Structure 1
Amino acid sequence: MGWTPPTKFVVILTFLFMVLGIFIFMDIVMDIWDPFLPTFDLFGYNGWFIIALILFFLTWFLFYLGVKLKGL
């Protein structure tokens, strides 16, 4: 099964997801922008960390789909 280069839309969308995920992750770990993100607890876990993990997964998954599926 061959592959196709992803479209510009997929590349830009995955880039935005990755940048947003890295921004949230850096905010949690480094506490640089402490007043920027409010506290968000989700079932005893940091909700922002879960959102950052979901964004990282979406980045990988959308880029994978953009390479494997033609016309996406």
Structure 2
Amino acid sequence: MMVEEGNVRDLADVEELLLCWSNLKSPEFVELVSRFYRELCDELFSTASGDAAADEEEEHATALSYESDV
């Protein structure tokens, strides 16, 4: 397997995460970890796209305001 030198630690982290995930036996823990990961991803990725959408709405509102003033 070829791995870039800087990503070796990242790869080890992912392998450790997958090993831990595969060792989870309790459905309650699987649900808890799944929910945590889902919420984390939602916050990380919706914030970035939400900021872009908010910026677009603000630009649109500014343009409409300018057009009504003219």
Q: So what's the TM-score if we normalise by structure 2?
A: 0.37
- Return the index of the structure with the highest Cα Rg: 2
More helix by share: 2
